[in-house]
Amino acid sequence: MELRKIDPSILKEDPHNPRQSPVIPALEDQLYANIKAVGLIQPPIFKEKNGEFLIVAGARRVRACIRAGLTEIDALYTEHDDRTTMMHSFAENVVRAGLGTVDTWRYIEAMAGADWNEEAIAVSLNIPPRTIRRLRLCGSIHPAVLDQMAKGDEPNESQLRTIASALKEDQAEAWKKHKPKKNERTSWWDYSRALDQRRLYARDAAFDDTLAKAHGIVWLEDLFAEGDQDNRYTTQVDDYLGAQHEHMSNTMPKKGVILTLDSSGDPKLPPKAERNYGPPRKGDILGHYVSDRTGKIEVIAYRMPEEQAKSKAAGKKGETNAIAAPIEGIAVKTRAPVTQAGMSMIGDFRTAALHKAFAEDEIDDLTLIGLLVLAVCGNNVDVRTGIDDEVLRVRGRDILAARIAADGVLTADPETLRQTARDALRIGLSLRDTTYGGNSGMVARVAGVAVNADRHLPTMGTEEFMACLSKNEMEAVGSANGVLPRQTGKATRAAVIERLKNETYVYPPARFALNKDESEVLADRAKSAGRFAHSLGNDGDGDAQAETDLDTPPWDEPEAEAA
């Protein structure tokens, strides 16, 4: 090979380059930032063919150099035949491996020792400063644990922080118990839990003193906490969680189910189970688990889908298995950002938040009257309610009428009227995705904005909800929260969930506020209703356009499509 100085812009990509799939833009940006900061380190290899210079290895480096504005770079010229250069090109893309966490940390520490600060390191490597600080946690880890991590067996970020926050002596002691056998991987969850120094309080414990003694739990007193509650705590996380598990098993109701946790600490439901994110309903199964984050015994409701009827074996007469060719000019339907299951979860979230705002938050009388009018305008004004309360769902309107007009006279008691109005709103307004038409449509969203029901929406940064997002939507959520795309959608989702696990995250389109398009639809349908009202005065003749507009109710909300 011969080292030459060459203008990168005259180097062309080989049409037979093994890497035909586009590279993740974030990786291209990282390489560009690195070359712009420190220059080209490894020269690309090129050959001459038919008077053109074709890149054998290093196409991404050449693109980054051109983007960085370099007019001259070092490059290696090869005269090997096509058969040999083809293997070089393939090996460049396949037979290589990135640095592991430990090797990266050692390099960063070496740079820090050479007077590089964290910001300069982050800029030169195009790595977020937060990642640099996370990698430097390795300096607080027991050497034997680092050796295991260097083999590619690494904990997740949360476990790494727990391990690094413990004393090295404690790490060494716990490693004796949790060190993996030869050719086995480490149970980082068990090891990090043994080092967890969180405070778990007696007030959150379901077990009694007898079970606490059996597990060897020693309570300490938090002298700086508020004095009106039980301030005893322990740092024996493993023993505390074990006692909670034993108590949960001993007191499990007949129809209760114990759930296991996934790698993110969220409960794992049985296959095909549908979680209910609102209050439990009749027919729901209650799953019990001990939260690895809080130590509390938590209960969630879910239900199993009914058995689907067997599909008919034969199709209608005349049917064929031929696939129709797409018609030119008609766009092919792509996957929606959120699946139908995700939209159903959002409906549950919104309805629970809306009803909580109606039941608990302060609402002035004028707003209350306006909300009642909106409730009457809902699509489900039959009323096909989405409320969870069994009594109010079946006999709700009779009960409310009796409450305010028991003797045939409307009560004048303001508090009774206000409370009844709140219950009427809970019965009338819903955003739940039901088979019987219980969704009130956009009017319920407008009502949610009026009472600021966004405050009551739960966190959606969970495995169950994030799994309902398309890959592109998942990457958009990650980008908005400082998480770069990973090699697979599943890896990106896991990184986003890890990033959001300690905060309440609400998926922006799940909030109550209407977007611009929805507001325009609402305005157009209001105008349509106005045109129809105007047409009624035209000698009974009517307006054809207004009659056409009646096919869609003015307050209806278009169904969300999902693949």
In this predicted structure, what is the pLDDT of residue 558?
43
pLDDT by 10s per residue, the chain, length 563: 788 898 999 888 877 765 656 667 777 887 888 888 888 888 888 888 888 888 888 888 898 899 989 989 999 888 766 666 665 665 555 545 556 778 778 878 877 877 778 888 887 777 788 788 878 888 888 989 988 888 878 888 778 888 888 888 889 988 998 899 888 889 888 888 788 777 888 999 999 999 999 888 999 887 767 767 888 888 888 889 889 999 998 898 877 899 988 766 788 888 888 888 888 888 888 999 998 878 899 999 988 887 543 443 444 444 444 444 444 444 444 567 888 888 888 888 888 888 888 888 888 776 776 666 556 555 555 555 556 666 665 566 667 667 766 676 667 677 877 887 888 888 778 888 766 666 888 888 988 898 888 988 999 999 889 999 988 889 889 988 888 888 888 889 999 999 998 888 999 999 999 888 888 887 887 777 667 666 655 544 444 443 444 334 444 444 443 33
For the chain, counts of helices (H) and of strands (E): 22, 12
In this predicted structure, what is the pLDDT of residue 329?
40
In this predicted structure, what is the pLDDT of residue 557?
45
Closest-CA residue to 454 (of 445, 465, 441): 445
DSSP-assigned states of every residue in 281-346: -TTPEEEEEE-TTT--EEEEEEEPPPPPPPPPSS--TT---PPPPPPTTSPPPPPPSB-HHHHHHH
Domain ranges of the chain: 2-94, 252-305, 340-457+506-510, 518-563
Closest-CA residue to 126 (of 19, 28, 211, 202): 28
In angstroms, the CA 563 to CA 203 distance is: 46
Q: How remote is the C-alpha of 211 from its chain's centroid?
A: 37
In angstroms, the CA 242 to CA 248 distance is: 10
CB 221 within 8 A of CB 212: no
List residues bridging with 297 in a β-sheet.
290
Q: Tokens 């028991």 map to which residue?
A: 406
Residues 6+ apart with CB under 8 A from 540: none
Position 100, amino acid: G
In this predicted structure, what is the pLDDT of residue 158?
78
The pTM score is 0.35
The sign of the torsion formed by the CA atoms of 91, 93, 95, 99 equals: positive
CB 274 within 8 A of CB 308: no
Q: Tokens 């990973």 map to which residue?
A: 486
List residues bridging with 303 in a β-sheet.
274
- CA geometry: angle 535, 437, 399, nearest 5 deg: 100
In angstroms, the CA 140 to CA 138 distance is: 5
**How are the residues of the chain apportioned to helix, strand and coil, as percentages rounded to the nearest 5?**
45, 10, 45
In angstroms, the CA 148 to CA 159 distance is: 15
In angstroms, the CA 321 to CA 314 distance is: 12
In this predicted structure, what is the pLDDT of residue 83?
60
Domain boundaries 2-94, corresponding CATH code: 3.90.1530.10
Position 152, amino acid: G
In angstroms, the CA 504 to CA 459 distance is: 5
Q: How remote is the C-alpha of 403 from its chain's centroid?
A: 43
In this predicted structure, what is the pLDDT of residue 316?
44
Position 89, amino acid: S
Residues 6+ apart with CB under 8 A from 216: 236, 239
Count the Cβ atoms, other than its own, within 10 Å of residue 165: 14
In angstroms, the CA 518 to CA 539 distance is: 34
β-pairing, 285-290 vs 257-258, is parallel
Q: Which residue pairs from 540-549 have beta carbons closer than 8 angstroms and sit at least 24 positions apart in sequence?
A: 549/525
Q: How remote is the C-alpha of 548 from its chain's centroid?
A: 41
